[in-house]
Chains A and B, each alone.
Chain A
Amino acid sequence: MLQIRIHGRGGQGVVTAAELLALAAFKEGYFAQAFPAFGVERSGAPIQSFVRIDSETIITREQIQEPDILIVQDASLLHSEEVLFGVKKNTQLIINSPDDSATINRLLHNKILTKNISSSPATEIALRLLGKNIVNTVILGAFIKKNKIIKLESLLSAVSEKFAEKGQALINKNKAAVTEAYTYVKK
């Protein structure tokens, strides 16, 4: 079972990110589960969401204690205890940051190995393509490049399905955001 924990702030699409990722995994034929942990419901408050992907039915509902993959949508949260809870050296970190992996490794006092860190300037991409600091689709583009479990087409199809009621223009922008991050991140 692959366990993914996503951290960000209210308004950045943390909950939607989990839904998109799980939906894309479902489209690949996996069993998937996505759920949020709402804090106080206001913009800017730290929020977590969780994704499990497995080839068998998922029955547990505990919040993810030891993530295989940690997605951080806002680098200013990186030092909070909650974000680093249960993280090990081999945990994979996908982070929205203009800094490179080595710099983030130093900032984390080597809590996560440099080779397991993948950073992309998601805020810059989101502001340019979406006009807002909603980085969820951008960061997922980076995620699937690093992890071969979900194909780009499945994530794009999940984006189309999830945003269907919001109109084609928004779908196209988010697809472009996914694709740009996918192209940006090295394998």
Chain B
Amino acid sequence: MFTHHKTQFLEGARAVSLTIANIQPAVVSAYPITPQTHIVEDLAKFKAQGRATYEYLRAESEFAAASIVVGASAAGSRVYSATSSQGLILMLEVLYNASGLRLPVVMTVANRAVGGPINIWNDHSDAMAMRDAGWMMFFAENHQEAVDLHVIAYKLAEEFNIPAAVNIDGFILTHSFENVVIPDKTSIKKYLPTYKPALGTYLNPQKPVTLGAFFTPEHFWLEKKRIDEDLKHVLTIFPKNYQTWKKILPTPAPIKVSCDDGLTEYCGPKNPDTLLIAMGSVVGTIKEALKTDKNTGILKIRSYRPFPVNSLQKAVGNCKRVAVIEKAMSSGAYGPLYSDVSAALPGFKGVSSNHIVGLGGRDINIKTIKNIIKSAQRAQIKFW
């Protein structure tokens, strides 16, 4: 099965940087910030060693880095950037423009808490700051998913002209070592052809166009509605795209999966009493905790934007309890994922609860997961 793809033992950051190098963007621009650093250092190194052909621009700030990739993308290039935490916040104005201008920018977010108080460790606060920016947002559980989601992100971004962010947990994935298969250039090209946007859709003097024009109240809402519709359309084509890619790069699932439509993945009994819902690397720890639990299942949200409402409703079915476990908080309300899940389940008759875990790098252990399952009997929001 793996004739030309061998399993390697790599750091998560290296797995991502090698994948990006093989995707062959034309322009890479970034500003180093922990824990994204190893990714962009690797990409700079590949360039310096002559192993990559992209233009590598170390920007003077994240705002500049985002602006550089937006500009290069508007000029018809495949682009890449990566950031974390405060760096993402500094990019934010540009990120809204990337989606508003319909530019297929792809970015890695090495998830980290947002200060203050200052903290360098992992949670999903940074990702949630760009939740409404009109980007696709995917979350990886492990190195292999991080690799796969980057390739898929480019495919969808370039097909629909929507930017995409691949979220990988800072330190937990970026700085950890595990088995991973890196797709080579040939297999990537089978799935993701060389980027050649049509003349008239990007900035080119041969056929001048305006990108980012002024929209009056009459048209602005229509454009926003169109972006929303296009993002939601991704929900219908993601599953097939995901399958196509996994046929090109088949890798064994770490443990038995009951159902995987790409957007979400479910592990557990057919009709669970309690359904846990989570995103990113914590799903691995949850799966380990559930090895001895016959009544609980875990639904992993791989695509957070667009939000997979149908897959979620199907997974919830008639279960008695839904417990959303997440690494972010919308202070004064609920966790962002919980709000989305609740909105997607208007008729849910069971008990739903929201569990805020792992803020600022707080370790999430199996004991905590088991305690969360016990406390899911009560409708509540709880910090662990």
Contacts and interface: CB of A to CB of B under 8 A. Distances in A.
B287 A35 contact: no
- Please indicate which of the listed interface residues A19, A33, A34, A35 has the most CB atoms of chain B within 10 Å of its own CB: A35
Contacts of A33: 176-178
Contacts of B220: none
Interface in B322-370: 363-367
A155 to B, nearest CB: 14
A81 B120 CA distance: 23
A35 B9 contact: no
B179 interface: yes
9 smallest A-B Cβ distances: which pairs?
A35-B176, A60-B288, A26-B9, A62-B365, A57-B254, A59-B284, A34-B177, A63-B363, A60-B285
A114 to B, nearest CB: 30
B288 A36 contact: no
B366 A61 contact: no
B288 A32 contact: no
Chain A interface size range: 20 to 34
Contacts of B367: 65
Interface string B46-75: 000000000000000000000000000000
A164 interface: no
Interface in B177-209: 177-179
Given A26-B179, A60-B288, 12 more contacts: A32-B9, A34-B176, A35-B176, A36-B175, A37-B363, A57-B255, A59-B255, A59-B288, A62-B363, A62-B365, A63-B363, A65-B367
B177 A61 contact: no
Contacts of B364: 61-62
A90 B70 CA distance: 58
Contacts of B254: 57-59
Contacts of A38: 120-121, 171
Contacts of A35: 171-172, 175-177
A15 to B, nearest CB: 8
B9 A61 contact: no
Contacts of A71: none
A63 B176 contact: no
A102 B121 CA distance: 39
A61 B363 CA distance: 9
Contacts of A19: 11, 177
B281 interface: yes
Given A23-B9, A38-B171, A57-B255, A62 B178 contact: no
Interface string B2-43: 000000010100000000000000000000000000000000
A41 B176 CA distance: 17
A22 interface: yes
A33 B171 CA distance: 13
Given A22-B9, A59-B255, A60-B288, A32 B177 contact: yes
Interface of A: 15, 18-19, 22-23, 26, 31-38, 41, 57-63, 65
A60 B178 CA distance: 12
Given A59-B284, A59-B287, A62-B363, A32 B178 contact: yes
A112 B177 CA distance: 30
A65 B365 contact: yes
Interface centre among A19, A34, A36, A60 (most CB of B within 10 A): A60
B120 to A, nearest CB: 8
Nearest to A52: B178
A62 B178 CA distance: 15
A7 to B, nearest CB: 16
A182 B105 CA distance: 51
Nearest to B35: A38
B282 interface: yes
Nearest to B179: A31
Contacts of B177: 18-19, 22-23, 32-35
12 contacts: A22-B177, A35-B177, A36-B175, A57-B179, A57-B255, A59-B254, A59-B285, A60-B287, A61-B172, A61-B281, A61-B285, A62-B288
